[in-house]
Amino acid sequence: MLTLCGQHLINGQWTGQPDSDFHSFDPATNAPLPWQFADGTEADVNQASDAARAAFLEYRSWTPQQRAGLLEAMADAVDALGDTLTDVAHKETALPRARLEGERGRTCGQLRLFASLLRGPRQSRIIDLGQPRRTPLPKPDIRLDQLPLGPVAVFGASNFPLAFSAAGGDTASALAAGCPVVIKGHPAHPATTELVTAALFSAIERVSAPRGVVNLIQGRSPSLSRALVQAPAIQAVGFTGSFAVGQQLSQLAAGRPQPIPFFGELGSVNPQFLLEETLAQNSKTLAQQQLQSMMMGQGQFCTSPGLVVAPKGAGLDSYLQALASGIRAQAAGTMLTPAIAANYHHAIERLSATAGVHELALGLEVQRPNQTQARAFVTSAAVALCQPQLLEEVFGPVVLVIETEDDAQRLRLIDALPGQLTATVHGSEAEMQKNQSLITALAHRVGRLIANQMPTGVEVCHAMQHGGPWPAATHSQSTSVGAEAIKRFTRPLAWQNMPQSLLPPSLRDNSDAPQLRY
Amino acid sequence: MLTLCGQHLINGQWTGQPDSDFHSFDPATNAPLPWQFADGTEADVNQASDAARAAFLEYRSWTPQQRAGLLEAMADAVDALGDTLTDVAHKETALPRARLEGERGRTCGQLRLFASLLRGPRQSRIIDLGQPRRTPLPKPDIRLDQLPLGPVAVFGASNFPLAFSAAGGDTASALAAGCPVVIKGHPAHPATTELVTAALFSAIERVSAPRGVVNLIQGRSPSLSRALVQAPAIQAVGFTGSFAVGQQLSQLAAGRPQPIPFFGELGSVNPQFLLEETLAQNSKTLAQQQLQSMMMGQGQFCTSPGLVVAPKGAGLDSYLQALASGIRAQAAGTMLTPAIAANYHHAIERLSATAGVHELALGLEVQRPNQTQARAFVTSAAVALCQPQLLEEVFGPVVLVIETEDDAQRLRLIDALPGQLTATVHGSEAEMQKNQSLITALAHRVGRLIANQMPTGVEVCHAMQHGGPWPAATHSQSTSVGAEAIKRFTRPLAWQNMPQSLLPPSLRDNSDAPQLRY
C-alpha cells in the first residue's frame, strides 16, 4: 500500500499530526481509505501564509525564464506520478481512470502553457517615451510593468482533483505570475492532494526555488477556509466551488482590514438555445449531443448543460422523444461525495414538486451508494419566468427543457437568466443572422458564447474565457482557465524617468520583447 | 449673471425642484453663490440609472468609431464653454484661473485620448484558430473580445472640478468602453457640474447618441451616494475621494445582492526618498522641488508629496534649512471647502501634539476664511515606526520629514508604509544601483515609482498607472488616469466556433485590426 504522511507542507517541512477521524472515502462504496490526515488549524494557516510571504521576497525577483523552469519541472514531476496518481484519485473520487489520465495530461499541459507564455515573447509592454522639450510642460518617460501581487490562496475543487486542485490552473497561473501559493486541499481527496504537492515540492528542490513557494494545508473545517482568506499575508484568492461557499468567502475577502481580490468560479447552468429550423432538421443529433455532454463526469462540471430553451413545435417534440429515450438508457453513476449526491437528490425533489414542471424521463435505477440517475424535466417559459429558481444550477446529470412561445418570450427569459459561464446557440449561420437580438442579449449574459458545440471540454488556450457575469463568477473581468488567467495575480506598476539599468529588462530600450511605444 | 436650471439630467430631461437651501459657496469669502440646486433623492438615482440601462441596450452596439465621435463632440463642447466655465469653477473652488484653464485642457485632452484609442489600431485581439483534425480531440476556434459592463456610477471629486468630475477621466473611459454613466455631482461645485453636463448633452444631441448615455444627479446627502452604488442597474463605480467615504462605498458595492467592481482612488502620502550623496550635493534644489510640488493646489492633490525620508546628516540639515525658509515665505492659500480646511487644521493639531514630532516651519498667517498655512514637521524613523498614523495622508500643504539612521531602518519604514499611489527616489544612477533593495521594496508598495521627479502633474498617457496597493486604491489592478483606464469598464467574452458574419469585425479573419493568433 502507498505510504502517505498525511501532513501539511509548510515552508518545505511536512508537519502536523494526522487525525484518526480524518480519512477520505471511496464514494463507490463509502468505505474509508487507509490514510489519515492532519486537520489544519488557524495557526497552521498563518504559518503557511507567512512562509509564502517570506518566499515571495525572493520569488518576486525571479526572471520569467526561472519561473518557466519551475513550472516545467513541476509538470515533469506530476507526469512522473503516472498510474500511482490516477489510482489514488480514482479511489477518492470514483471518476473513471481514463478521465483522470486525461485530467493529469491537462494539468501538466496547463503548467507547460504558462511556462511557454513566460519563455515566449511577452505581451507588449507599453512605453511612453519622454519628451523633455515638450511645451508648456515636458513629458516624462513612463513605462508600464506588471508585478506579482504576493501570496495566493488556492482552494482545491471537488470535481477536478487534478486540474483544479493542488497543481491546478490557479496554482499554475499564480506561480507563473510570480506569486507563492498556499493550497487548501479539498477534504474529499487529501491523498491525491498530498501526492501532487509532494511532486510540486520535488520540483521546487530540483530547481532550488524558495521552499515556501508552495504550501499545503489539509483540513475539513469551513473555519479553515475562512482563516485562509483572512490571513494577513494572503493577497488574492483562487476558488472553484459552490455559489454558497464562494459567495461567503468572497464577502470575507472584501471585508478584510485590507480587502483583497477573490477570483471565484461558482458555476452555471449553461443554457442551450435551439433555433427552429435546425431543431426541425437535426432534433435527434441535438438530443444526442445534449445527452453526451450532460452525462460527462455524471454532470459534475461547471459547464454541464443544465438548461435547453427551444420553440414549441414538432421539432421540439421529436427532440424530447430522442432525449427521453437516451435518458432512460443511462446507467446510474457515482457522485464525487455523499454530500454532492444528497444535494442532487434534494434539488431533484424540489424540481419534481414544482407546479408546471413535468418529468420527461429518468435513467436506470441506482445500485450502489452515492449514485444518481440521469433526469430530464420539461416546463414552459411562462412557468420559468415566474419561478426564477428554475434557472439556477443543479449540480449533476439533469436537464430542464423550457418551451418558448415566441422570440419576445425567449428574450424575456434571457433577461431573467443569471450570469452564465457559457451559452450555446444551435442554428445555421443564416438562422443566427435572423436571430441577432438573441446573440447580442446572450453575449451580455455569458463569459463564452458558443455556436453549435457543447460547453463541456474547456479548451486550455490563449483566447479562453472561463468566468462570466455574477453569479457565474465573483469577478467577471478575469478567467480561471487559459493563458489570460495569469493577469489575476499581477498589477500594473509605472516606472517614471527611471535610468535604464534600473528598469526591468523587458522595459529597456534595447529589449527584444515586444513594446508598444508612444 | 449666468442662468442655470439647477436640476438633474435624467434621460435627456432636466428635472427636479431646486432647493433654496442648496447653494455652492465661494470658499474665498464663504459667500453663497447665486444659484440653487435640486437635492437628489433615491428615486432620482434609480430613474437615472434605469435610464442609463435603457441607453446601454443601444449604446453597447455602437462601433468604436461612433463612440470616438461622441467623445470628440464632447471635447469640442467643453472647450467651447471657454471662460464661462473657468469663471464659474473659480468662484466655486477658489482654484486659480490658470490652473483651471490647464485643467479644462486636460479634461478635453482626456476625452480626445480615448477617442484616438478607439480610432487607432486596437490592442491586439487574441485568437485561437480551430484545429478540427487535432487528436485526440479537435481544437475549437476561440476568439477573445471585450464587452462593456453596463451603466457606470461616476463620483465627481472636490479637488478636480473638471478633470475628475462630470466630464472627467471616469466619464471619458466609461463612455469609451461603451458604458453609459450616472454622474453624482460633487456638492462643492454644482454650477460647474451643470455647465459641463449641459455641454456633454449638447454633444449627445449633435451625434444622436442615446439620450440616457449621460445622466446627472445633484445633491448633498451621503445617502444619495449610497443609493447610487446600490442601484441595481449600476454595474461599476468610478470614485476619487477620501479614504473614509471610498472605503464605505466600496464595502457597499461588495455587499450588494449582485456585487460590482468599485474603482476608488483614495489618496496617498507619496514618500520622497532622498539618497545620501545626492542629498549632500543638491539639498537646496531638492528642498525647492519639494516646496513647489507640495504647494501646488495648496497641497490638495492625491499625489502631493507629504512625506520625505532621508538619512541624518549635514545634507539633511541643509535641506531642512532651505525647506524651512521656503515654507516661511509661503502665503496662506484658500482650501476647496470649509470642511477640507477644518480637516487640515485638526490633522495639524494632532501632528503638533504628537510626542517626538517637531514643527520645522510654518507659512504666513491666514487672512481670509478657509485659508491654511504651509507646514513642515520633522521626526525620527524610530518615532514613525511606533506611530503608524504618522504615515497617513494629511490633505493639504504639509510635509513630514523622517530622519533615518541606516538602510535597515529605512527598509522597516517601507514595510510599515501603507500602499501608495507613488514614491520618488532622488539619487544618481550609481546610487540607485547601490540601493537596489530600496527600489525593489518600493516597487511593491506603489503604483508609480519615480526617479528624480516630483509626483504631482500626472501625465495622461498610455503607460500611466494612477492607482496602487490598498489603501491608495480599492483595486490595485486598475488605473484611473491614462488609456489603460478603459479596461476598468470592460470584461472578456470568448466567442467559440462562431460564423464569421456573427463575429465582431475586429475578430474576423479579414480584419485589419492587430490580432495575436495561436
Which of B511, B518, B510, B505 shows the shortest CA–CA distance to B145? B505
Three-state SS at A405 = coil
What is the full per-residue pLDDT of chain B (518 aa) written as tens digits? 799 999 999 999 999 999 999 999 999 999 999 999 999 999 999 999 999 999 999 999 999 999 999 999 999 999 999 999 999 999 999 999 999 999 999 999 999 999 999 998 767 789 999 999 999 899 999 999 999 999 999 999 999 999 999 999 999 999 999 999 999 999 999 999 999 999 999 999 999 999 999 999 999 999 999 999 999 999 999 999 999 999 999 999 999 999 999 999 998 999 999 999 999 999 999 999 999 999 999 999 999 999 999 999 999 999 999 999 999 999 999 999 999 999 999 999 999 999 999 999 999 999 999 999 999 999 999 999 999 999 999 999 999 999 999 999 999 999 999 999 999 999 999 999 999 999 999 999 999 999 999 999 999 999 999 999 999 999 999 999 999 999 999 999 999 999 999 999 999 999 988 888 99
Cell of A271: 443554457
> What is the average pLDDT across A298-325?
98
Note the pLDDT of residue B124. Answer: 77
How far apart CA B341 and CA A146 sit, in angstroms, is 38
Note the pLDDT of residue A124. Answer: 77
How far apart CA B40 and CA A399 sit, in angstroms, is 47
In a domain, B1, yes or no: no
Minimum distance, in Å, between the CA of residue A411 and any CA atom of chain B: 13
CA angle B297, B302, B306 (to 5 degrees): 85
Q: Does the distance separating the beta carbons of B484 and A126 come in below 8 Å?
A: yes
* CATH number for position B310: 3.40.309.10
Q: Does the distance separating the beta carbons of B448 and A493 come in below 8 Å?
A: yes
Which of A188, A171, A157 shows the shortest CA–CA distance to A77? A171
Give the confidence band of A171 by pLDDT, cuts at 50, 70, 90.
Answer: very high
Backbone φ and ψ of A205, nearest 5°: -65, -40
Buried b or exposed e, range B357-389, using 16+ CB within 10 angstroms: beebbbbeebeebbbbbbbbbbbbbebbbeeee
In a domain, A463, yes or no: no
Domains contained in chain A, number: 2
pTM of the predicted model, to two decimals? 0.97
The answer to whether A6 and A35 are in contact (CB under 8 A) is yes
Q: Does the distance separating the beta carbons of B139 and A461 come in below 8 Å?
A: yes
Note the pLDDT of residue A514. Answer: 85
How far apart CA B114 and CA B181 sit, in angstroms, is 16
Chain B residues lying within 8 Å of A429, measured CB to CB:
499, 501-502
Residue carrying C-alpha cell 502633474: B457
Minimum distance, in Å, between the CA of residue A326 and any CA atom of chain B: 23
Q: Which A positions 440-499 lie with beta carbon below 8 A of chain B?
A: 440, 443-444, 446-453, 457, 459, 461-465, 467, 469-471, 474-479, 484, 487, 490-499
Note the pLDDT of residue B121. Answer: 78
Cell of A427: 442554428
pLDDT tens readout for residues A422-436: 999 999 999 999 999
The answer to whether B297 and B458 are in contact (CB under 8 A) is no
Looking at the structure, tell me whether residues A359 and A381 fall in a common domain. Answer: yes
Note the pLDDT of residue B1. Answer: 79
Looking at the structure, tell me whether residues A322 and A366 fall in a common domain. Answer: yes
pLDDT at A122 over 90: no
How far apart CA B181 and CA B49 sit, in angstroms, is 8
The answer to whether B302 and B265 are in contact (CB under 8 A) is yes
Q: DSSP strand E in A149-292: where?
A: 152-155, 181-184, 214-217, 236-240, 262-265, 271-274
**Per-residue 3-state assignment (H helix, E strand, C coil) for B205-254:** HHCCCCHHHEEEECCCCHHHHHHHHHCCCCCEEEEECCHHHHHHHHHHHH
* Identity of the residue in B251, B457, B492 whose CB atom sits nearest the CB atom of A254: B251
How far apart CA B252 and CA B254 sit, in angstroms, is 5
> Is the backbone of residue A479 left (phi > 0), alpha (psi -120 to 50) or beta?
beta
Q: Does the distance separating the beta carbons of A497 and B453 come in below 8 Å?
A: yes
Chain A residues lying within 8 Å of B507, measured CB to CB:
none
Looking at the structure, tell me whether residues B318 and B389 fall in a common domain. Answer: yes
Burial (CB < 10 A; 0-12, 13-18, 19+), residue B149, is buried
How many Å is the Cα radius of gyration of chain A?
A: 24
Looking at the structure, tell me whether residues A206 and A86 fall in a common domain. Answer: yes
* CATH number for position B45: 3.40.605.10
Q: What CA dihedral angle connects A232, A237, A241 and A242, to 10 degrees?
A: 60
Task: List residues of B with catalytic annotation.
Answer: 265, 302
Three-state SS at A222 = helix
> What is the average pLDDT across A398-403?
98
Distances (CA, A) of A447 to A460, A461, A475, B147, B435: 15, 15, 11, 10, 45
Helix (H) or strand (E) holding B361, with range, is strand B358-362
Q: Which of B417, B491, B508 has the most A C-beta neighbours within 10 Å, making it the best mutation to test the interface with A? A: B491
Q: Does the distance separating the beta carbons of B494 and A137 come in below 8 Å?
A: no
Instruction: Please state the separation of Cα B201 from the chain's center in Å.
Output: 23
The answer to whether A390 and A298 are in contact (CB under 8 A) is no
Looking at the structure, tell me whether residues A398 and A491 fall in a common domain. Answer: no
The answer to whether A204 and A51 are in contact (CB under 8 A) is no
Residue B159 structural domain: 8-19+35-121+141-266+475-498
In a domain, A25, yes or no: no
pLDDT at A335 over 80: yes
Buried b or exposed e, range A100-128, using 16+ CB within 10 angstroms: bbbbbebbbebbbbbbebbeeeebbbbbb
In a domain, B337, yes or no: yes
Task: Count CB neighbours of A61 within 10 A.
Answer: 12
pLDDT at A63 over 80: yes
Looking at the structure, tell me whether residues A250 and A289 fall in a common domain. Answer: no
pLDDT at A338 over 80: yes
CB pairs under 8 A between A and B: 200
In a domain, A465, yes or no: no
In a domain, A20, yes or no: no
Looking at the structure, tell me whether residues B158 and B218 fall in a common domain. Answer: yes
Note the pLDDT of residue B469. Answer: 98
Rounded-to-5 percentages of helix, strand, coil across chain B: 45, 20, 35
pLDDT tens readout for residues A152-163: 999 999 999 999
* Identity of the residue in A139, A439, A451 whose CB atom sits nearest the CB atom of B496: A451
How far apart CA A202 and CA B409 sit, in angstroms, is 37
Three-state SS at B511 = coil
How far apart CA A205 and CA A49 sit, in angstroms, is 19
Q: Does the distance separating the beta carbons of B255 and A516 come in below 8 Å?
A: no
The answer to whether A181 and A249 are in contact (CB under 8 A) is no
Note the pLDDT of residue B221. Answer: 92
pLDDT at A252 over 80: yes
Q: What CA dihedral angle connects A65, A68, A73 and A74, to 10 degrees?
A: 150
How far apart CA A300 and CA A293 sit, in angstroms, is 11
Looking at the structure, tell me whether residues A75 and A182 fall in a common domain. Answer: yes
Note the pLDDT of residue B136. Answer: 87
Looking at the structure, tell me whether residues A294 and A254 fall in a common domain. Answer: no
Residues in chain B: 518
> Is the backbone of residue A155 left (phi > 0), alpha (psi -120 to 50) or beta?
beta
In a domain, A213, yes or no: yes
Q: Which A positions 211-250 lie with beta carbon below 8 A of chain B?
A: 250
Note the pLDDT of residue A263. Answer: 98
How far apart CA A189 and CA A381 sit, in angstroms, is 40
Cell of A439: 446573440
Amino acid (one-letter) located at A253:
A
Task: List residues of A with catalytic annotation.
Answer: 265, 302
How far apart CA A181 and CA A74 sit, in angstroms, is 14
In a domain, A421, yes or no: yes
Q: DSSP strand E in A405-509: where?
A: 420-426, 446-451, 490-496
Looking at the structure, tell me whether residues B55 and B196 fall in a common domain. Answer: yes
The answer to whether B137 and B166 are in contact (CB under 8 A) is no
Looking at the structure, tell me whether residues B212 and B232 fall in a common domain. Answer: yes
* Identity of the residue in B484, B491, B495 whose CB atom sits nearest the CB atom of A477: B491
Looking at the structure, tell me whether residues A493 and A345 fall in a common domain. Answer: no
How far apart CA A381 and CA A408 sit, in angstroms, is 11
